[in-house]
Amino acid sequence: METRRIGSLAVSLVGLGCNNFGMTIDEDASARVVDAAIDAGITFFDTADIYGGTKSEVFLGRALAGRRDAVVIATKFGMRVDAARQGARPEYVRQAADDSLKRLGIDRIDLYQLHQPDPTVPIADTLGALDDLVRAGKVREIGCSNFSAEQLRDARAAALPGAAAFVSVQNELSLLNREAEREVLPECERLGLAFLPYFPLASGLLTGKYARGTAAPEGTRLSQGWAASRFLSDERLATVDALTAWARSRDHSLLELAMSWLASHDAISSVIAGATSPAQVQANARAADWRLTAADRAEIDAIVRNR
């Protein structure tokens, strides 16, 4: 599989999002997903302290035992674990990192990410604590998530010369949610930051499982009433149908289109896709191999724009 860079880290173009671990699937199923990911050439594993009620880190660490040096492990902090564990205060940054290291069973985190901005703490203070972790050898690179372009600029300006600075931002981006293209992606290119898209398949809409006039498959994420009403609008499904037809006319699947479209962005280093089974991992890993041309992208833009 192609590799790209996140700061000093070399990562697989397709990464594994581990948000299902401990929530949707148990430890044994999580281990099978991890094994399938490694077999498929995936080396980048992304989790967070809040995933699965902290179980995701535990399951991932155990599944990677004995293979730690062959992979890149990313985790996040800052969202609410409980009333005492949340935010980006310097003292909590250090505690959260130690907690994640213990749960993962490792002595360093390759990419440690602030999961969301904390307006109550100056970003310079948070960066100072993260720099301490880098200097202590507990963290290799630092990143952020859910940051605006302005917040990325502020974070870069607040980083002291020679100190650790964010090398990546993880925000939502897919063919159906392109807000990051407006300001954040251009800012990443300007600052030399890696962009890591989450929800690359738009909560499953871009997997090929959903179409107008048919019920959502039983047991899927969008089969629940609230999810269906939020995501399965006629307008969105019309766009999905048009993209599916365009991909099929070129002997590709909608999944391949969704993943390869993201991979065609220069600033994107790894497309983080979740999975609940080995088959899903294998499909995701293969899906980013389609090399889209500028003409392809223009046609795709027209489809999305005109719906």
Query: How far, rounded to the nearest angstrom, does the alpha carbon of residue 24 sit from its chain's CA centroid?
Result: 17
Question: Which residues in 11-47 are b (16+ Cβ under 10 Å) and which e?
Answer: bbbbbbbbbbbbbebebebbbbbbebbbebebbbbbb
Apex CA 128: angle with CA 123 and CA 130, to 5°? Answer: 95
Question: Measuring CA to CA, which residue among 219, 245, 269 is closest to residue 74?
Answer: 269
User: Under a CB-based contact definition with an 8 Å cutoff, are residues 125 and 90 in contact?
Assistant: yes
Residues whose CB is less than 8 angstroms from the CB of residue 229 and which lie 6 or more positions away in sequence, other chains included: none
User: Under a CB-based contact definition with an 8 Å cutoff, are residues 178 and 301 in contact?
Assistant: no
Apex CA 278: angle with CA 273 and CA 103, to 5°? Answer: 70
- Residue 174 CA to residue 199 CA, distance in Å, equals 7
- Residue 75 CA to residue 104 CA, distance in Å, equals 10
- Please report, in angstroms and rounded to a whole number, the separation of the first and last CA atoms in the chain: 34
Q: Return the amino acid letter for 269.
A: S
Q: Dihedral through CA 84, CA 90, CA 91, CA 97, nearest 10? A: 80
Q: How far is CA 144 from CA 76, 94, 148, 215, in A?
A: 8, 16, 10, 37
- The residue annotated as part of the active site, out of 51, 92, 198, 210, is 51
Rounded to the nearest 10 degrees, the angle between the axes of helix 254-263 and helix 294-305 is 110
Say which residue the tokens 């365009």 belong to: 246
Is 210 known to be catalytic? no
Active site residues: 51
